[in-house]
Amino acid sequence: MKILVPVKRVVDYNVKVRVKADGTGVETAGVKMSMNPFDEIAVEEAVRLKEKGAATEIVAISMGVAACAETIRTALAMGADRGILVETNVELQPLAVAKLLKAIAAKEEPGLIILGKQAIDDDMSATGQMLAALLGWAQGTFASKVTVDGANLIVTREVDGGLETVQLTLPAIVTTDLRLNEPRYASLPNIMKARKKPIETIKPEDLGVDPTPRLTTLKVAEPPKRLAGVKVKSVAELVDKLRNEAKVI
């Protein structure tokens, strides 16, 4: 079984995000970038499935500027076999990503696509579901456990009420949650080997997809700074402030 793993290049989760002075977006110049943490979990799960003999090949896919190849190299160092870079300077939104992945899936014919449940930059949590709808495949979102059972996939999902276990018929889409696994660190030998693994570079037009954004960002602003707290002398004063200033009661 071939597994496709989309990986997104985002601002590193340890970096404090800064809004551009003109309010058009988030500052990325000179900022450390890394693989989306949920996608790291997806790569790790694909590698574990291959180590168990359930998968034969892992293909890492990234979309965006040329520097996204670095994110693919990270996935290759973790254990992916080859990469595909869909290079474009256009801002890619979930529907465009899903359409591009659908076109790649038609060419690669994978048995499973594993991706992070959301990206930490936009928190959309929509690409996996859109891709499943476009392909007409079964989907197991917010997965905390994945088991291959012949032609089926047993997925334990994180839901509001606790856990839900579903059985999916392959091919299928799985989006990963935090509890699924702990991603491995790429060893130096594997980092060196990753440099020799192939990365195919294509354009959206090669896949017959128009990635033009359907949504327009009007303005990006930092949240208002939290005001300092005040001390009250009595319960009556607290109630008065909650009722007349905070207006929460």
pLDDT in tens, the chain (249 residues): 999 999 999 999 999 999 998 988 888 888 999 999 999 999 999 999 999 999 999 999 999 999 999 999 999 999 999 999 999 999 999 999 999 999 999 999 999 999 999 999 999 999 999 999 999 999 999 999 999 998 899 999 999 989 999 999 999 999 999 999 999 999 999 999 999 999 999 999 999 999 999 989 899 998 888 888 889 999 999 999 999 988 888
Q: ω into residue 37 within 30 of 0, thus cis? A: no
The answer to whether residues 209 and 203 touch, using CB atoms and an 8 Å cutoff, is: no
For the chain, the domains span 2-244
Burial class (CB in 10 A: 0-12, 13-18, 19+), 75: buried
The whole-model pTM stands at 0.87
Select 2-244's CATH number: 3.90.180.10, 3.40.50.1820, 3.40.50.150, 3.40.50.620.
3.40.50.620
